Chain A
Amino acid sequence: MVVSLALGTPVLSLIGAVGAALTLGLRGGGVLTSLLVLPLYIPVLIFGSGAVGAAATSVSYSAYLLLLGAFLLFAIVLTPWLVGIALRISVE
């Protein structure tokens, strides 16, 4: 469970950063950020809870952790770039 949290939490933060950058300086930006970001959270949450569920019933949970790790790598590569684009749009 600790590992799934360690892998999942950074992904959630990175996705949240894109949402926050897109809605920078808008009225009601907070509500909008959650609307944009929550759907993208769903896969991470599904596999995170899947890992915990598998561990609790003592079946192999490595597949869930591998998928979470893949999400994390994807997020590390792509989100800083997307945040950069979004910020540039926001400050134009």
Chain B
Amino acid sequence: MTRTTAPRFNLYWFSSPQTFYPLAGKLVPWFAALAVILTLVGLYIAFLVAPTDATQGESYRIIFIHVPAAWMSMFLYVVMAFWAAVGLAFNTRLSSMMATAIAPTGALMTFLALWTGALWGRPTWGAYWVWDARLTSELILLFLYLGFIALQAAIDDPRRADKAGAVLAIIGVINVPIIYFSVKWWNTLHQGASVSVKGSSMATTMLVGMLIMALAYWMYAIAAVLIRVRTIILERERRADWVRELAAQGRLK
């Protein structure tokens, strides 16, 4: 395989696994470092700077873990479905690999949101779990992630696995607006959103801490997905010339 020179600026240059692999490898340490720094700053604000809540006392502090995880769980699903749909429509390999790589991180975020929500619900609502619209739809989201992973794992041919997973992911997108608007459409125990484009009903330090934690989750998710997509690229392209070339030169780190 001859290596052409990189064009001046071409977004599609990095859309093939061969060119994306080294780029992802260069980006991972940066995102990982940012994730660590932002988490430390965010947790410092969360536990030491932010004031105690007037009605919920100290127990509200789990918001700094809970809300960013819930945001990420929904956002990652949309991103996953987007890449899966691109892979289905244009038959591009890398976008399907991205979708596969995002699924476990999304499932982790969903689980985290449900788990911290249960721990938060116990002191404030008196129950770990209620069949509330938002909790139920978030649980459905977890099953959609798990179904996507299980379906792809069950199909041996990766191309068929990508396409079947894409169909499931696209069907499941309908659940994301349901989660988001569930607190408006139904009378739920779960409170409405405290943060919106128009402003926030929280103290500023709380808001800043939460946004920093959300950024930290973003950085973590990007780093984790890039590491996973590199592994998937190697697994699927292991017979390609460029992988063998890199392996022979010992640059396959």
Contact = CB atoms under 8 A, between A and B. Distances in A.
Interface of A: 18, 22-23, 26-29, 32, 35-36, 38-40, 42, 46, 82, 85-86, 89-90, 92
Contacts of B163: 89
A35 B150 CA distance: 9
A82 B160 contact: no
Given A82-B167, A90-B160, A39 B151 contact: no
B92 interface: no
B160 A36 contact: no
Given A89-B167, A90-B164, A32 B143 contact: no
A89 B164 contact: yes
16 contacts: A18-B167, A22-B151, A22-B164, A22-B167, A23-B154, A29-B154, A32-B147, A36-B147, A36-B168, A39-B140, A39-B143, A40-B140, A42-B136, A85-B167, A86-B167, A92-B160
A39 to B, nearest CB: 4
State the main secondary structure of chain B at its contact with A: helix
Contact of A35 (B140, B143, B155, B164): B143
A89 B160 contact: yes
Interface string B109-151: 0000000000000000000000000001001100110110011
A28 B143 CA distance: 18
Contacts of B136: 42, 46
B131 to A, nearest CB: 9
B139 to A, nearest CB: 8
Contacts of B193: none
B171 interface: yes
A46 B171 CA distance: 19
B146 A35 contact: yes
A42 to B, nearest CB: 6
Interface of B: 136, 139-140, 143-144, 146-147, 150-151, 154-155, 160, 163-164, 167-168, 171
State the main secondary structure of chain A at its contact with B: helix
A28 B150 CA distance: 11
Contact of B154 (A32, A46, A92): A32
B147 A39 contact: yes
Nearest to B157: A92
A29 B168 CA distance: 15
Contacts of A39: 139-140, 143-144, 147
A36 B150 CA distance: 9
Q: Taking each of A26, A35, A39, which has the highest tally of chain B beta carbons within 10 Å of its own beta carbon? A: A39
A35 B145 CA distance: 11
Given A35-B146, A89-B164, A23 B171 contact: no
Contacts of A27: 154
